[in-house]
């Protein structure tokens, strides 16, 4: 915690003490939560549009802490207190700079850096979530790819569970992680929502499902002899051109003389 924060918290304590000392004088009930929120002792949230409809975005001194589908505010506040062990209150108005970054990250524009509060998650889950942040918009990676990339190739199921408990879906794009067989699979907000978000990002869920049905897991470029996961940016563009071949396994691609793309690292996805 910065010195400035400590200073302001000490200041708030003095204010609280002062309020207490007022005894019988009535103060507006909004004063205390507002003061707490301003100095980071209480988290706040606002409502915002997203590709899956309105969402709540909560934040505190550690950054954005939660993203949930907007429904009933009281229910969200109760859920938040249970999950994080601290209260949250609706912001009078969204913090402009943060709301703009969130909006950019949810939309098609530039992504922008965002501070995300992952203090409450395990080291394993943090590794999974940080790796997931690396998956570009419009692309997907299998659960097994995440597991291998973080050095835990046997932990595919645990990767799924970690993603299912992602505190900030959409901002950490767990929707970009698909089943190892290539199918779109499950999502914390439901598989229909997952398909909708992928579609909005330009990763065709229909194409992914069709390739999965055909058992196609890798695409090879017949000109430069590299093979990729189907949504790898370079390969995705080439899908409209008659210059790719399909593979079911990395071994099949390697035997045919293809080398793994060093961007999407498909050999790690078996
Ligand atoms: Zn690639």
Identify the CATH number of the domain in which residue 249 sits: 3.40.10
Please give the share of the chain, as a percent, with pLDDT higher than 70: 79
Regarding whether 269 and 205 lie in a shared domain, the answer is no
Regarding whether 67 and 10 lie in a shared domain, the answer is yes
Residue 9 pLDDT: 42
Regarding whether 190 and 150 lie in a shared domain, the answer is yes
Tell me the C-alpha distance between 258 and 240, whole Å.
Answer: 20
What mean pLDDT do residues 175-193 have? 91
Indicate whether 112 belongs to any domain.
no
Regarding whether 201 and 122 lie in a shared domain, the answer is yes
Burial 141-176 (b: 16+ CB within 10 A, else e): bbbbbbbbbbeeeebbebbbebbebbbbbbbbbbbb
Specify whether the CB–CB gap between 104 and 112 falls below 8 A. yes
Report the domain count for the chain: 3
Regarding whether 249 and 163 lie in a shared domain, the answer is no
Indicate whether 91 belongs to any domain.
yes
Distance 219 CA to ligand 1 centre (A): 9
Distance 267 CA to ligand 1 centre (A): 10
pLDDT digits (tens, 9 = 90+) for 148-165: 999 999 999 999 999 999
Q: Domain containing 143: what range? A: 118-214
What mean pLDDT do residues 40-67 have? 91
Regarding whether 128 and 193 lie in a shared domain, the answer is yes
Residues less than 5 Å from ion ligand 1, measured at CB: 228, 232, 261, 263-264
Regarding whether 240 and 210 lie in a shared domain, the answer is no
Residue 126 pLDDT: 97
Tell me the C-alpha distance between 45 and 92, whole Å.
Answer: 9
Q: Dmax over Cα atoms in the chain, in whole Å?
A: 84
């Amino acid at each position: 915690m910065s010195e400035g924060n400590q200073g302001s918290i000490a200041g708030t304590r003095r204010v609280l003490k002062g309020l207490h000392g007022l005894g019988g004088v009535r103060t507006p009930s909004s004063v205390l939560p507002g003061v707490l929120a301003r100095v980071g002792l209480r988290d706040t949230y606002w409502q915002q549009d997203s590709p899956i409809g309105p969402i709540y975005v909560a934040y505190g001194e550690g950054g954005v802490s939660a993203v949930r589908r907007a429904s009933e505010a009281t229910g969200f506040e109760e859920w938040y207190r249970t999950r994080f062990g601290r209260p949250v209150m609706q912001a009078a108005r969204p913090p402009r700079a943060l709301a703009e970054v969130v909006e950019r990250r949810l939309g098609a524009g530039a992504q922008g850096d965002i501070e995300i509060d992952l203090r409450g998650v395990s080291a394993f889950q943090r590794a999974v979530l940080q790796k997931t942040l690396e998956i570009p918009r419009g692309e997907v990676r299998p659960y097994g790819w995440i597991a291998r990339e973080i050095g835990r190739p046997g932990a595919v199921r645990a990767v799924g569970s970690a993603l299912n408990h992602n505190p900030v879906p959409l901002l950490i794009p767990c929707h970009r992680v698909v089943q190892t067989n290539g199918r779109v699979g499950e999502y914390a907000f439901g598989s229909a929502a997952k398909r909708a978000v992928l579609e909005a990002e330009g990763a065709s869920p229909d194409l992914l499902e069709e390739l999965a049905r055909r058992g196609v897991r890798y695409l090879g470029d017949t000109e430069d002899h590299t093979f990729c996961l189907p949504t790898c940016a370079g390969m995705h563009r080439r899908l409209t051109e008659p210059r790719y071949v399909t593979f079911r396994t990395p071994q099949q691609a390697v035997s045919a003389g293809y080398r793994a793309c060093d961007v999407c690292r498909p050999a790690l996805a078996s």
